[in-house]
Amino acid sequence: MGYSRTMSATHKEHISQALKGKKHTEQTKKLISQKIKARWAEVSPQPTQPTEPTKPTQIK
């Protein structure tokens, strides 16, 4: 368990700054969202539910 509280806080801060749209391309945003999903998959034991259940789960 190498994740410290400050590291996760820094990670969240980095994501929030990145999502503010500082000249980020769509591909970069997709990579960031994939990293977020991967991080949540690590942290949460239960499977993550899609935010929009009407759509089929599909990552492009």
For the segment 1-46, what is each residue's pLDDT rounded down to a tens digit? 455 555 556 667 776 766 665 556 778 888 888 888 887 777 665 5
Domain extents for the chain?
Answer: 10-34
Orientation angle between helical segments 5-19 and 26-43, nearest 10 degrees: 150
Give the pLDDT of residue 1: 46
Cβ-based neighbours of 30, under 8 Å, separated by 6 or more:
60
Neighbours of 11 (CB within 10 A): 14
pTM: 0.29
Q: Which of 39, 51, 31, 30 is nearest to 12 (CA)?
A: 39
CA distances from 19 to 11, 13, 14, 26, 45 (A): 12, 10, 9, 11, 26
